[in-house]
Structure 1
Amino acid sequence: MVASGHHEALTDAFYRSLEFGTGGLRGIMGPGSNRMNRYTLGMATQGLCNYLIQSFPGQEIKVAIAHDSRNNSAEFAQIAAGIFSANGIIVYLFEALRPTPELSFTIRELGCQSGCVITASHNPKEYNGYKVYWNDGAQVVAPHDKNIIIEVNKITSVGEVKFEADPSKIISIGQDLDARYFARARQLSIDPAAIRRQHDLKIVYTPIHGSGITLVPGLLREFGFTNVSIVEAQATPDGNFPTVQSPNPEEKSAMQLALDQAQAQDADIVLATDPDADRVGVGVKNDKGEWVLLNGNQTAALLTYYLLSARHRAGQTTPKDFIVYTIVTSEILGDIARAHNVKSYRTLTGFKHIAGLIRDLEGVETYIGGGEESYGFLIGDFVRDKDAVSACALIAEMAAVAKDQGRTLYQEMVQMYAQYGLYVEDLISLTKKASAAPKKSRK
């Protein structure tokens, strides 16, 4: 970089250390203390190891690790596994890429004290990240988040990182956990009879080159859908995301291939997931026959509307039921809950707060579903982070139930608005590049 005269890029790469925030690391990959690489990842993992050993003295500590399709994700997962094992910690490492929600599920299923997933979610291809979870399967919250940061900041040299792996402590996992996840997710279905009648619902699905391909088509089959068409140009996991500028289902450009395929096949619905399959995008046909995308509020509202009304029809509603949504999410979710005599809670932004509420109310009240404007939704409590895999299956079921009653999903949404009032929202997406080291001001 010096030889090439890239001084500004060099300064940006080294002027500070990549910050370990309350959820972990996220940054551009490359050399430098302000970049995602084996050293910044290693120091963060060593700090987490130190905190786990302090927090669970005398116990056998176990962690689970997953990764998405991003460049270097598999390598970073192996590096993290090696450091955990070198610190005497048992590691359950997925044999290949898997969605973030399955990592959350696995932590609880295998009784782990912690876990991490290597992903930068829906960020552009230059980025990668490292999200940390606690023993409840949720991203870390207070006091653990700040305590982990303290321990990470104590690591001042890569020489303090134990990179020498102990292979005897690394256990490969995969299909068995997939089957266990499917078994729990199948129980979320409310109207399997409607799916049997509408099993050939025409579904177009794209994983946008990400990890959703490992679970979403399989879960749709498990639910009983027999006519799922994959966008082949985006089916292969690829960290370069060659068909899109950004692998974000919030952006129409990332969904265009799926919409085009749906138009050509006269499909009923389009489903999409981001690289780590925690965000879901939905396309529907309006009354003019045009394909339109639902925004995050519309998807969350429709799922809440379906879950509560379908559970009521099926006689599954209980006085302990509750839903959750965050302060950046449309108030229509609360209106729908109140109309069904179901309790609703609002939390701060972020699914870790929804998961925290589920944990606090466990055994006292019954969590049904919860969502956030940022294309995230969680149904049931066996996962503790937003889950686009199960959301895809329930959205498909919702479309099947609507079709069984002679309506499209778009018409279902119009009916929802007619009943609860029209809510209008729009999304403005701003991309802000990181700044280089602050320059001295002149006086």
Structure 2
Amino acid sequence: MNIVLKSTLRELNQVKLEEPKTLTIGRSPSNDIVVESGRVSAEHLKLFWRGGVPYAVDIGSSNGTFIGGDKLEINQPYQLKKREVVIMGSEDVMFEVASISGERGTQMFRTDDNKVYIIGRNPSSDIYIDTPVISSSHLKIEKRDNQWYFYDDGSTNGTYLNSQQNPVKSDELRRGEVIYLGNYKLQTNKILQFLEEQSSPESENLKLSKDIITMGRDPKSDIRIDHPSASFHHAKLTKTAKGYTIKDLGSTNGTYVNGVEVRRDTIVKQGDEISLGIHSFVLSMDASRKPVIKKKRTIDGDGFYIEAKNITVIRKDKETGGPITLLDDISFTVNPGEFVGLMGLSGAGKTTLLKVLNGYDKPTKGASYINNWELSSDTYDVLKTTIGYVPQDDILHPELSVQEALRYYAKLRLPSDTTTHEIDDKIDKILKKLGLDGTQGTLIGSPEKK
């Protein structure tokens, strides 16, 4: 087995790494490949094989190593894929993984015809789940004979199918089943939906060959975002002498660069993350050093999970005037597809906890997270479209029909440019999904409402 590198730099062009050899790259003469650049550290990068799979690891560089716009963590191995571009400190020092060859065994490395997807805790995973019960590389998925299969990648807490009493090492990925990674629950339908989206042409990197790139819900947009959290005309990228700038076009939910809201024309640099609604993109470079933009992640990627981390709420006691602890270091995770009941005596703190979880109140200590996005004042506008909260009291309008009530709430929550046709179409789909199709004309206050 071997990999071949391709680069505009003579030192990095047509370099071949055969298994099981290791290759070090850096400025120091002791490296296998010496690159004379001030942006490259003395000992910068190491390429190596593990179980028939090629990896890259940043061995403590000062200016970082970037793959696909993502910065590698120090001493954290990253599995190399064909045609990926590796940038060492600066765009002046980059190479492409031109080929990965060898017989395919159980190690399953990625090729164009046989891409392997990874589910794990490593941020470079195709489906990234940041929860301790999941291993760095927990599950691998590949397609053979037009059918998807999954394999446990030597995880610590195991993989189970349909029941936590049914451990499996590998199996066919079928619809309508449940896979447990440790005790983390994943619906196979969600995984298959992700795989289908990744296999479609829309998932490929978009080369920024135009001077103006439009982004939004409009089908004519250069980058179309088919989700109600995005406005019809949401944002645009414009090519300038300094690179690309992004401008928000008066969207309802805002445009963000690296988590900061765009309020004026903002320069977008290599590796910057652009968030529109719940969708995120990264500005990157291809092997020919041409700018490309790729879809990075969707907040609801494989379903929602909510996490409470060390939530503590201390308030002023109305009677004594002193501090009183309402919530004391609460931590838990609600995984996708789970239905959780919160029980306790009156005054136990149920409502207090729910209001902290949905961002209504701020905790004294700790935080709540939606798919690893901390719910804070900086992220609330992005996350609010994913949050639903039903209060204890009935706040429905009895004189409205189901259709009218849902249309009314949709106009309050969705972007202002969402058409009535789009809203009604969404209402029909939701009611059908809930098994309530045909109730659109039923009055909220009628005896049939239950």
How high is the TM-score relative to the length of structure 2? 0.30
Asked which structure has the greater CA Rg, the reply is: 2
| Greater per-residue strand proportion | 2
| Greater per-residue helix proportion | 1
